Amino acid sequence: MLVVLVGPPGAGKGTQSQRLAEYLGIPHCSTGDLFRDACQRQTELGLQAIEYMQSGRLVPDSLVEKLVVERLSQADCQNGCVLDGFPRTVPQARQFDQWASQNYLPVSVVVAIEVDEQTLLDRLADRGRQDDDRQVVHERFRQYEELTVPLLDYYRGQGILRMVDGVGGLDEVYERIQQTIEATRT
């Protein structure tokens, strides 16, 4: 099963997708984590990605696709995974759909976590990650609105988009996500 989690910065995608992956018994694949790891190890990809990440912009699609295909080609992903932070743009999704159908692993369901902006800002202020400073956060929101929100329509058109209310405690939100996934499996 290939599940995609989408949400604005601070929506809790990382935590929720990790938990969901554990429940489904498939790996959790976060492109943000993969990029942060590449930056830390100063690989060629990391060096190319770092300035985008530090300024809150999305890394160019061509770099992301390579990273994801490499990760999904590993043996532990043969039955799918929970994708956290990918696809994030319509071109990424279109390209990925091609790869996914060629590999008999189509996206089953896309869960979009909805949280109002003030709650997101409060959460990010508490989290303190390097790309969470005010100006960078502003840019990450702008990029989300401009590049990721159209992705929701793309998946809505495929009939696989499910919206989940992301306001509330971690457990409460997780319950909603789990129920949403279960409803698609029956």
Residues found near ligand AMP in the complex (CB under 6 A)? 9, 31-32, 35, 52-53, 56, 58-59, 64, 85-86, 88, 92, 140
Residue closer to ligand AMP, measured from CB, 62 or 179: 62
Token pair of 22, please? 């554990």
Closest approach of Cβ 36 to ligand AMP, in Å? 7
Residue closer to ligand AMP, measured from CB, 86 or 174: 86
Per DSSP, the residues of 93-106 read: HHHHHHHHHHTT--
Contacts of 141 (CB under 8 A, 6+ apart): 8, 9, 117, 120
Closest approach of Cβ 100 to ligand AMP, in Å? 15
Token pair of 134, please? 């005010």
Residue closer to ligand AMP, measured from CB, 24 or 58: 58
Query: Whole-angstrom Cα distance, residue 70 to residue 63?
Result: 11
Closest approach of Cβ 153 to ligand AMP, in Å? 17
Residue closer to ligand AMP, measured from CB, 28 or 176: 28
Closest approach of Cβ 51 to ligand AMP, in Å? 10
Query: Whole-angstrom Cα distance, residue 181 to residue 179?
Result: 5
Token pair of 132, please? 């969470």
